[in-house]
A and B are shown apart, each in its own frame.
Chain A
C-alpha cells in the first residue's frame, strides 16, 4: 500500500470530507407500518460550508428529512450519516450536539420559561462555560433584535418574535450543521433579509453547513445548491440556476419560478434575447443594459 502514497492520501482526504458531511444513503421512511412511504430511496450529501436549500410541495417529505437528520425519527431502510457517524438510538446525543434545528412551528421547541432561559438551554446541554454563555445569549438576542424581550415568556411573543427567538437559540449554540425548517416564514421583509444575512455571516465565520427548508423562492436563489423533493423522492439536485431553468416542470410539481425569472421569460416572448437564466435583479439589469446600449 505504501507504494501508492497518492491513493492513501486520497482516502484520508475522503475521510476528512466525510467528517464534515451529512449523508443520506438510500433512505426510505414511513410513519408507521400501515402508512404510505413518505420518503423513498432518498440519497444526497451535504458538505461543510455549504448552503443547501430543500424545496418541494406540501407533504413532499422535507420536514421528515430534517427530523431524520437529528435522530427524532429513524429510517426503516437505508442509513443516515452525520460526520461519518450513523444516526441510531445510541448515537443521537452525539448527533444532536452537531445538528441544530429550528422547527416549522417554534412553539414546538420552546423549553424555557423566559426567552433568556430558552436561549441558554441549548448551550447548557453542550456544557458551555458560564461566561461564554452569557456572552452568547447577549450576542444572539441582539442578532435577532430581541434583546428587549429577554425576560418575557416565549409563548407571549408575537408570531415573528417567536421565530426570532428560536433562531437565536440555534445561533447561540452554532452547531456544525444548522437546519432551518421554514424558520423565517413569518418575519417582515426587512427582518427576513437581515436575519438571513446574520445567519450567513455566522455560517461563514464558523464554517457551518446550512440547510434551509423554504417556500421562499427568492431565498432559494441565494443558496449554493438546491434539493427538490417531489412526493417523497429527490426530483432534482442542482444549482439554483439549473433548478429554475426547469420552469413549467416546477409548476407541475407545486413549485414556481421567482419573479425575475418570470419577467425574463416574458421579455424573451416580447422579442429580447436573454443569454442566461437570471437569478437576481442585477443579472437581468446587466442583460438589459447590454441590449440597450448596443441597439
Chain B
C-alpha cells in the first residue's frame, strides 16, 4: 500500500502547559512495496509518526493516507478496523502490546479478532514462532514470565500472525541477542521481498538502515531533515553528526583508512569479505594500483 504524509503536524496535550509539538509539517510518500528506514535522535518524533500509520494517532493538522485509508485532522475515520487488520505494528516496548494469559493466546489475539478460522490460527502460530525463533515450550507460559528478548519475539510473532500488508517496526531488534537481531531482520527483509510487504522501520542501528532499507527518512526535532537512498544519506557525515546520528561503522572505518593511509576505498554496498579483499590488495600493493 502507498503511504503519504501531507503536511502532518501532531501536538501532544494541546492547550496545556505541557503542549508539545512532536511533528511539524511533515510531508513524504512511500511507494507500495518499499522498505523505508526512519532514523533520528531520541525524541525526534519517530514513534509518534509511526502511530499515525494504523490510526492510533490522528494528525493535529494535515493528512495521512495508507492505501485507500485516509486520516485527516478533525475527521473521524470509520474504517480504522480494516486499516488495523492490514497494518501490523511492532511497538518500541513489547510489554505495551502483550496482555493475554498465555503466549499462544497472545499470538492468536490479532487473527482471532479479525475472524480467522481456528485451524488457520494454529498454523499461523506455528509459523510465527518458527520465524521469530521462539521455543514452543514457552507457548503456554504467561507472556510476562519471560525474558526481555523472549517478550520481543512474542510481540513480533503476534504481528506476523495477522498476515499484514504493511509492517511497521519500532526498534524491533532492541533486546534481541546478536544472532536474533540478524535472523529477525533477515526474516523481515525476506518477507518484504517475497510478499512485497511495505515495511517501515524505525532504528538506531545505522548498520541496519544501510543494509535493509531502500530509502531513509531522517527526523530532527519533529521536522523532516533529510531523505534519500542509504548510500546518499551516509555520505553526509557532518549532516548526520549534527543531529545526533552517525555513519555506519564500515563507512567510518573506511574513512579512517583513507585519512591515515591515503587508501581510498569507497563503500558501495560490498560485503565485509569483498572489502577485505580489496583492502588487503591495496595495503600490500600500496598506491600503485590507483
A residues with CB within 8 A of B: 31, 56-59, 62-63, 104-105, 107, 151-152, 156-161, 164, 182, 185-192, 215, 217-218, 251, 254-256, 259-260, 262-263, 266-267, 269-272, 281, 284-285, 288-289, 291-292, 295
Q: Flag if B41 contacts A188 (CB, 8 Å).
A: yes
B241 within 8 A of A: yes
A208 CB to closest chain B CB (Å) equals 24
Candidates A63, A191, A263, A285; contact of B41 at CB < 8 Å: A191
B55 CB to closest chain A CB (Å) equals 20
Provided the pairs A105-B95, A217-B178 are in contact, do residues A189 and B18 lie with their beta carbons within 8 angstroms?
no
Provided the pairs A152-B18, A161-B43 are in contact, do residues A254 and B177 lie with their beta carbons within 8 angstroms?
yes
Contact with A along B1-37 (1 / 0, CB 8 A): 0000000000011000010000000000000000000
Q: Flag if B246 contacts A190 (CB, 8 Å).
A: yes
Closest to A161 in B: B43
Complex alpha-carbon distance, A288 and B180, angstroms? 32
Q: Flag if B284 contacts A58 (CB, 8 Å).
A: no
Q: Flag if A289 contacts B260 (CB, 8 Å).
A: yes
Q: Which A residues are in CB contact (< 8 Å) with B150?
A: 58-59
Candidates B12, B180, B252, B279; contact of A58 at CB < 8 Å: B180
Main SS class of interface, B: helix
B residues with CB within 8 A of A: 12-13, 18, 40-43, 47, 92-93, 95, 145-150, 152-153, 170-171, 174-182, 204, 206-207, 241, 244-246, 249-250, 252-253, 256-257, 260-261, 263, 272-273, 275-277, 279-281, 283-286
Complex alpha-carbon distance, A159 and B172, angstroms? 13
Given contacts A158-B47, A267-B276, A284-B253, 15 further A-B contacts (CB under 8 A): A58-B147, A58-B152, A58-B177, A58-B180, A59-B146, A160-B204, A186-B92, A189-B245, A191-B41, A215-B176, A217-B178, A254-B177, A266-B272, A289-B260, A291-B283
Interface-centre pick from A56, A105, A164 (highest chain B CB count, 10 A): A105
Q: Flag if B283 contacts A272 (CB, 8 Å).
A: yes
Complex alpha-carbon distance, A30 and B150, angstroms? 17
Complex alpha-carbon distance, A160 and B221, angstroms? 14
A229 CB to closest chain B CB (Å) equals 11
Q: Which B residues are in CB contact (< 8 Å) with A157?
A: 43
Main SS class of interface, A: helix
Q: Which 7 A-B pairs have the closest CB atoms?
A: A58-B149, A160-B42, A266-B276, A270-B280, A256-B178, A189-B246, A190-B244
Q: Flag if A104 contacts B175 (CB, 8 Å).
A: yes
Q: Flag if B181 contacts A215 (CB, 8 Å).
A: yes
Complex alpha-carbon distance, A42 and B47, angstroms? 39
B34 CB to closest chain A CB (Å) equals 24
A197 CB to closest chain B CB (Å) equals 14
Q: Which B residues are in CB contact (< 8 Å) with A159?
A: 42, 47, 92-93, 170-171
Interface-centre pick from A107, A156, A189, A191 (highest chain B CB count, 10 A): A189
Count of chain A to chain B residue pairs whose CB atoms are closer than 8 Å in the complex: 159
Q: Flag if A271 contacts B280 (CB, 8 Å).
A: yes
Candidates B12, B93, B178, B250; contact of A255 at CB < 8 Å: B178
Complex alpha-carbon distance, A161 and B42, angstroms? 6
Closest to B147 in A: A59
Q: Which A residues are in CB contact (< 8 Å) with B253?
A: 259-260, 263, 281, 284
B173 CB to closest chain A CB (Å) equals 9
Provided the pairs A160-B43, A187-B42, A289-B261 are in contact, do residues A215 and B177 lie with their beta carbons within 8 angstroms?
yes
Candidates A59, A164, A185, A189; contact of B206 at CB < 8 Å: A189
Complex alpha-carbon distance, A182 and B149, angstroms? 11
Complex alpha-carbon distance, A295 and B182, angstroms? 37
Complex alpha-carbon distance, A215 and B148, angstroms? 12
Q: Which B residues are in CB contact (< 8 Å) with A58?
A: 147-150, 152-153, 175-177, 180
Candidates A156, A160, A262; contact of B12 at CB < 8 Å: A156
Q: Which A residues are in CB contact (< 8 Å) with B182?
A: 256
What are 25 contact pairs spanning A and B, CB under 8 A? A58-B147, A59-B147, A159-B170, A160-B42, A182-B175, A186-B42, A186-B92, A186-B204, A188-B40, A190-B246, A191-B42, A215-B181, A254-B178, A256-B178, A259-B250, A263-B250, A266-B273, A266-B277, A269-B276, A270-B281, A272-B283, A281-B252, A281-B253, A288-B261, A292-B283
A184 CB to closest chain B CB (Å) equals 10
Q: Flag if B42 contacts A292 (CB, 8 Å).
A: no
Q: Flag if B148 contacts A191 (CB, 8 Å).
A: no
